[in-house]
Amino acid sequence: MKNSGWIIILFCNLTLTQAQDLFTEFDTIRLEEFTITQRIPLNDQSVLDLSRSSRFSSIDKINGRLEGISLIKRGAYALEPQMDGFSGGQINVTVDGMRMFGACTDRMDPVTSYIEPDNLESFNITHGTSGSRNGNTVGGSFDMILREPVIGQTEGMLVETGLGYESVSNGINANGALEVNREKWAFRTSGTYRNHNSYRGGDGIKVPYSYFKKINLHSVVKYDLGKNNTLRFDFLLDDAVDVGYPALPMDVGKAKARMYAVEIERLDAYRTVSQLKAKLYFNSVYHLMDDSNRDSTFRLTDENGAPSDTVYMRMDMPGWSDTFGFFMEGGASLGEKSHIYVKLDDYLNYSRAYMTMFMNYPEYPGEPPMYTETWPDVFRNVAGIFIRNTTRVSNSVNVNLEGRLDMSQTRVTSETGHRQFAIFGYDIDRGYFELPKSLNLSANFRTNGVTRLDAGAGYAERLPTTSEQFGFFLYNALDGFDYLGNPEIGLERSTHFWGNLHFTWPELKVSIRNRFSYVSDYIIGLIDPEIPQMNLYASGVKRYDNIPAALLYGTSLQLQWDPGAYLTFYTLLRYTYGRTGEGDPLPLIPPLRNTSICKFRKGIFSVQMEGEFSSDQNRINSGFGENPTPAFAIYHLRNSFHWLVKETVIEVGAGIENIFDKAYSEHLDWGNFLRPGRSIYLNLRVII
């Protein structure tokens, strides 16, 4: 695709209409339903609004448009976020600062899958080692802030409802919200329902097992205690059922999450203290993998259409993850030019999962069920302190120094788990104690009214995940290996450098970002030829271990041009590079990618054209099941109408995604199964 570069340049379009002071430290982008906050001066409001092709766009569609974020896709539901080549335990994904962990040993339920855009207020995204506010991290943090009602505004009630349809999956989306505001209290509840069949790829053929159903509810109550004190209660429910995964040999029968939180906050607490907040929370996740509708070749009929079941071993694989936690945080001024922020936090996570195998192989008739604990009752307690000091050196220079220290203790309490790892010479009777830490220094410079430079360096360590340390024969469908945890695995450590350059003119805004990480003791699965696989389909066993080094580099260019009152162009160009210290490509590294948008909006009508372009990816690690992926270009058309009838807002939206029905897949799509083909969507939204 030699001309793809010219296509990208010619299609450099962007959509932003409400400019802010681009030299503020944080930029806030409001999307009516919620706000996106990123540490960048370029306002992404229209880009993210477009990523919500309708008011029913999933959080995955929004995340995939954010700078530095890519998505690992195993099915049509619950895409896993990746930041600059980091994923899994390398990044912190939190909800309102609360720690939460998926219950699936195969990472089929990232924390983002339990949140819907309708119950979100904002994202706080920080890349690299500087994202340690909510826990030590080497790759960054992704904090999802829940939406809340406002006390003391004009008393009243707001009712919102909507319905949407997507042709590619014959999918129905519905949502609604109720908000009541009073002088001393406020209440909000919102809900989302999704029901999608298997979608059609660009070749017109249905992608099997890409269906899903889910319901999500969030309720929040706030009460004014007086003297600038407020009390808040949150409850969140998310239930998904019949979730298919075309890239995996198993689906999900149930995925359930419950979250409870109580928070007290005091504003302007004292003369120098700007804010104090304390939160106590609990969340519980249950995940059940199900292969009752699958077989080893992803079909239950033979070539003649007759019933067939070639699975040698059926499996029942439930998992649980319960997290109790609290945190206290506050900020204070230290003179006229310095401000300090402190956060104390603690959480206890209890993870467990097991697998019961039922033999279904004619050569071994009458075999009794076999039981193993894939996560053997793992308790992890982490207490930490985070401190950040911001100093205004001059009117054009700010300096930030921040550090974090965690105290972690991990223990396995299951007798079965002890026996399982004793087979490989591990004594996991003892507790595992670690002190991960981080330190970051950064500065931003405003050289004139047009240019701003942000730069910094940092160091951080992160704990291994439950799977990396205590996972027991976890099958990976991408490379076909069983994975075994390593109780003696070491901390992963990263030295991180970044530099961002921003230019701002009245009609043009440009943002260039660069990030480089040198990761020592990088955690990865390595083949152990001495251990036989448990899964009859597996190619062997890989044991998690530390390799000496890995290098990751990410860069991006964002450009916004507003040539007139009604027209806006935007483009986001991003690239990620990753390799081991020996020069081998790291697995699951996305290629050069561009998103471009052109939007026209006048009065009650708006129309927008957008394109997504990706280069091919031939830098692959075949040892991890990767295949080269070709370049592609797809286009979308969207339009909407807004009316105000007395006090009622009516919005009608329609559009076509993948206009030319392109058959394509992205490099981070496991198994290279096709993405959705041409889809016509319609939606209606009413606010009273």
- For β-strands 481-484 and 541-561, DSSP reports them as parallel
pLDDT at residue 57 is higher than 90: no
Specify the pLDDT at position 307: 54
Task: Kindly state the average pLDDT of the residues 529-544.
Answer: 86
Confidence band for 505, pLDDT divided at 50, 70 and 90: confident
Tokens in use for 357? 């195998």
pLDDT at residue 661 is higher than 50: yes
Whether 570 and 13 have beta carbons less than 8 Å apart is answered as: yes
pLDDT at residue 39 is higher than 50: no
Comparing 155-159, 237-241, 518-522, the range with the smallest average pLDDT is 155-159
pLDDT at residue 3 is higher than 50: no
* Complete DSSP assignment for 328-385: EEEEEE-SSSEEEEEEEEEEEEEEEEEEEEEE--TTSTTPPPEEEEEEEEEEEEEEEE
pLDDT digits (tens, 9 = 90+) for 566-586: 898 999 999 999 999 999 999
In the predicted model, what is the mean pLDDT of the chain? 87
From CA 111, how far away is CA 92, in angstroms rounded? 10
Topology of domain 4-148+159-171+178-687 in CATH is Maltoporin; Chain A (2.40.170)
Task: Kindly state the average pLDDT of the residues 2-28.
Answer: 33
Specify the pLDDT at position 620: 94
pLDDT at residue 494 is higher than 50: yes
pLDDT at residue 35 is higher than 50: no
pLDDT at residue 238 is higher than 60: yes
Whether 509 and 22 have beta carbons less than 8 Å apart is answered as: yes
Specify the pLDDT at position 422: 94
Helix (H) or strand (E) holding 12: none
CB environment 419-452: b (16+ within 10 A), e (fewer): ebbeeeebebeeebebebbbbbebebebeeeeeb
Whether 373 and 354 have beta carbons less than 8 Å apart is answered as: yes
From CA 479, how far away is CA 424, in angstroms rounded? 23
Percent of the chain scoring above 90 in pLDDT: 69
- For β-strands 140-146 and 92-95, DSSP reports them as parallel
**Which of 147-156, 230-239, 388-397: highest mean pLDDT?**
230-239
pLDDT at residue 8 is higher than 60: no
Specify the pLDDT at position 362: 63
Specify the pLDDT at position 251: 92
Specify the pLDDT at position 395: 87
Decide which of 277 and 646 is more confident: 277
* Complete DSSP assignment for 373-439: EEEEEEEEEEEEEEEEEEEEEETTEEEEEEEEEEEEEEEE--HHHHHHHHTTT----S-EEE--EEE
Specify the pLDDT at position 476: 92
pLDDT digits (tens, 9 = 90+) for 359-377: 766 666 677 888 899 999 9
Decide which of 642 and 98 is more confident: 98
Specify the pLDDT at position 408: 97
Specify the pLDDT at position 532: 86
Q: Indicate the pTM of the whole model.
A: 0.89
pLDDT digits (tens, 9 = 90+) for 315-336: 789 999 999 999 999 998 888 8
pLDDT at residue 40 is higher than 70: no
Percent of the chain scoring above 70 in pLDDT: 87
